[in-house]
Amino acid sequence: MVSLNEKTPFANNLQSSPIFRLILGRFITIFVLLVSGWFWYSGGLGVSFAEMPRAPIAILISSVSVGIAFLFLFALRAPESVQIRLQFLADAILITWLVSMTGGISSPYVTLYIILIGVTSIYLRPLETLLTAVGCSFLFVLMELVFRFGLLETVGPEPTFSKSIQIVSFNVVAFFAVGLLASRLADRRLSGETLKETAKSLADLRALHERIVESIRSGLIITDRDGTIYTANAAASEMIGQNLEGLAGRSITQLFGDVREQIRLSETITANEQLPRFETDLRTPDGFAVHVGYSVSLLRSEDNEPTGYIFSFQDLSEIRSMEESVRRKDRLAAVGRVGAGLAHEIRNPLGAMRGAIQLLESKTEPGSVQADLMGIILRESDRLNSIITNFLNYAKPKVGDFVEIDVNDAIRDTVVLLKHGPDVKPEHSFDLDIPPEPVFLSADETQLKQVFWNLSRNAINAMPSGGVLQIKVERLPFDKIRIKFADNGSGMPPEQVEKLFEPFSKSTSGGTGLGLSIVYQIVRDHNGSINVRSADGEGTTITIELPVGKKTPVEHSKNELSGVAGETPLADLLVVSPGEK
């Protein structure tokens, strides 16, 4: 059924409305009838308009008036379905009037009934089209009965009764035949419209499902019963590092390994049971290790027949990194509780020992073996005192003096000092990729330079035979900056990356291992995060992200200074899981 948007303005909706097409068709039909009537009565164009019969002219003028009236009715925003039915009713009456004025059942305009029945199939339902044929037959028979019983005078000779029966019967049969065919046409039209609407609904529903699947941040991979991948969502492609074209056709075992047991469990799970969760490591084409947790569910058709499997998985690397941060803080807490007090206890006798050795050295002959041994003791005591000092700075860091500094200047000063250091060789080169304009940051300048110095010096020591140290500064959205230190040195194995920021861990620089622990502490105090990517023999990249906005230094509670973990958000201490390249 035709619908009407009653809120659409008349001027904009007229030409696109079926009402307009119906009225326009009526005007065209009237014009054709006028021209054909002209030829009918004159056999050419010789007859003038004044010589035309008045009855047909009056009927045609009435038809035009009816069309104009329906235009006004449409402007009043009457229901469109009502307007269409009124127009067909008016057309049937006007046709009956025209036929009665042009020879009755012998009129050449009887064909207009058939045209009217055919047109209704375009606008009405099948039953209404058939009822139109019934109505036309009724009006046609009623007109003949009115003339037959002399209620109205006929125009021209009246056929005999038997002849009238034949003509009326033939036309009524024709009306019903056309009505049946038109109703079938209307049925097919409605079926086509229904099919089109259904197809559009299915397309909209499919698009909605696709948008929902693409919006899910969990990875989804769908396979057939043999485990061959045939589709995946955007999150899966992003985590695995391959697009759909690269995943389609591959076996799921190439990503998740042997999953036969997991699939067997998924087939035995009932509707009320929760899917079991599994964990595995995915390898991206670039060699990155992505630790994921996944579940397998059975995909069924509309007939409830198994057609494939759905693998839903999430990247657990960040969660694992957060857990590692918690474990690291727990280990550091234990070290802090024991070491903070122990360092003071060691420092006091160490100072007494150093004073005694200095006194003995003053009474020993220079150049003797005893003097050399005492010199070694003094140097080692100084080194031990330096270790204790660094550890105390780490266990009880001082509150930073936060001011606005230019990160670019801090990096340039660090590189200048480093270039003149004894560790830098001619084979070492520096690649500074920093913006030309200043990058201001609220930070403790001394502590930040210590971070840059420790990371740069470690990178240089990881390249004993020479190499390139790249330092890059870039702005990030949400008022953050990223500082990256990348070298092409010896790199680190996963085991070393896991314990990189723990005190006294194995150091690539050959030091005590406190330098990177202090770096970690300073970055945390600046509300930042530090990220490490390294592979044995393939270099190391350390990335620091710091907020640009003016921040106050992180206050350490007494519990935290003694080794108890504070309330620093774990997400800000994220370290990429070792084993990533």
Helix, strand and coil content of the chain, in percent to the nearest 5, comes to 55, 15, 30
Q: How many CB atoms lie within 10 A of CB 134?
A: 14
Of the chain, the percentage scoring pLDDT greater than 70 comes to 78
3-class secondary-structure state, position 432 = strand
Pairing, β 219-224 against β 306-315 = antiparallel
Token pair recorded at residue 493: 């194995």
Token pair recorded at residue 189: 């039209």
pLDDT for the residue numbered 52: 56
Pairing, β 219-224 against β 229-232 = antiparallel
CA distance 91 to 135: 12
Q: What b/e sequence results for 55-66 when a residue is b if at least 16 CB atoms lie within 10 Å of its CB, and e otherwise?
A: ebeebbebbeeb
CA distance 51 to 36: 15
3-class secondary-structure state, position 435 = coil
Q: What is the pLDDT of residues 542-560, one digit of tens each?
A: 999 999 865 544 444 333 3
CA distance 163 to 21: 39
Question: Would you list the DSSP string of 29-45?
Answer: HHHHHHHHHHHHHHSSS
What architecture is domain 403-573?
A: 2-Layer Sandwich (3.30)
What are residue 15's phi and psi, to 5 degrees? -70, -25
Q: Report the side by side order of strands in the sheet with 467-476.
A: 428-433, 467-476, 480-487, 540-547, 529-534
For residue 480, the surrounding DSSP H or E stretch is: strand 480-487
pLDDT for the residue numbered 471: 93
Q: If we measure between CA atoms, which residue out of 124, 24, 144 comes closest to residue 80? A: 124
Considering 63-77, 123-137, 244-258, 560-574, the range whose residues carry the highest mean pLDDT is 123-137
Cβ partners under 8 Å of residue 97, min gap 6: 59, 62
pLDDT for the residue numbered 512: 54
- Residue 340's pLDDT band (cuts 50, 70, 90): low
Query: Are 60 and 30 spatial neighbours (Cβ–Cβ below 8 Å)?
Result: yes
Question: What is the rounded average pLDDT of the residues 312-327?
Answer: 78
CA distance 562 to 518: 16
CA distance 575 to 497: 9
Q: If we measure between CA atoms, which residue out of 340, 394, 343, 335 comes closest to residue 525? A: 394
What amino acid occupies position 168?
A: V
Q: What is the pLDDT of residues 520-547, one digit of tens each?
A: 888 888 888 888 888 888 889 999 999 9
Q: What is the pLDDT of residues 375-384, one digit of tens each?
A: 888 888 887 8
CA distance 566 to 329: 9
Question: What is the rounded average pLDDT of the residues 55-63?
Answer: 69
Q: If we measure between CA atoms, which residue out of 107, 83, 106 comes closest to residue 26? A: 83
User: Which range has the worst mean pLDDT, 230-239, 482-491, 555-564?
Assistant: 555-564
What CA dihedral angle connects 200, 201, 204 and 206, to 10 degrees? -110
pLDDT for the residue numbered 96: 85
- Residue 581's pLDDT band (cuts 50, 70, 90): very low
CA distance 386 to 392: 10
Cβ partners under 8 Å of residue 378, min gap 6: 354, 357, 358, 361
Indicate whether 146 pLDDT > 80: yes
pLDDT for the residue numbered 485: 94
Question: What is the rounded average pLDDT of the residues 380-391?
Answer: 77
Token pair recorded at residue 516: 């990177």
- Residue 486's pLDDT band (cuts 50, 70, 90): very high
pLDDT for the residue numbered 10: 46
Q: If we measure between CA atoms, which residue out of 475, 471, 469, 497 comes closest to residue 484? A: 471
Q: How many CB atoms lie within 10 A of CB 279?
A: 11
Q: What b/e sequence results for 535-550 when a residue is b if at least 16 CB atoms lie within 10 Å of its CB, and e otherwise?
A: beeebbbbbbbbbbee
What are residue 389's phi and psi, to 5 degrees? -60, -45
What are residue 186's phi and psi, to 5 degrees? -65, -35
Query: Are 144 and 104 spatial neighbours (Cβ–Cβ below 8 Å)?
Result: yes
CA distance 352 to 332: 30
Q: What is the pLDDT of residues 455-468, one digit of tens each?
A: 998 899 889 888 99
Residue listed under structure tokens 């067909």? 88
CA distance 37 to 61: 14
Query: Are 449 and 414 spatial neighbours (Cβ–Cβ below 8 Å)?
Result: yes
C-alpha Rg value of the chain to the nearest Å: 47
Mean pLDDT of the chain: 77
Domain ranges in the chain are 10-206, 216-315, 335-395, 403-573
Going 110 to 115 to 117 to 120, the CA torsion angle's sign is negative
What kind of fold does domain 216-315 have according to CATH?
Answer: Beta-Lactamase (3.30.450)
For residue 79, the surrounding DSSP H or E stretch is: none
| pTM across the whole model | 0.42
